[in-house]
Amino acid sequence: MLNFIMFQELKKLLNDKLKLGSNKVKPPARGSYWVYVCFRSEEERQNALVALNGYVWKNKTLTAEVKYCFVIFPD
């Protein structure tokens, strides 16, 4: 479970240490074991997938996968 301190450390890991350039990092709900991470481009997202899959952080192996979101704008 990610608490607030671990969440802030995760954001620093993504942006400062791994230089992934995420623009949004947020947990879906309290007590979740996963987070949403958004990137500004497809290239940055692909770099993050490569960097995060198998990365060991705090004795846990991280995995990353792509989830697509479709937004429909009314006419």
Whole-structure pTM value: 0.74
3-state DSSP call for residue 57?
Answer: strand
Residue 73 has pLDDT above 60, yes or no: no
pLDDT digits 0-9 by tens, 22-40: 888 887 777 777 888 888 8
Q: Give the other-Cβ count within 10 Å of 59's Cβ.
A: 5
CB-CB contact of 1 with 34 (8 Å) = no
pLDDT digits 0-9 by tens, 10-25: 889 998 999 998 888 8
DSSP β-bridge partners for residue 17: none
The H-or-E segment that residue 38 falls in is strand 36-39
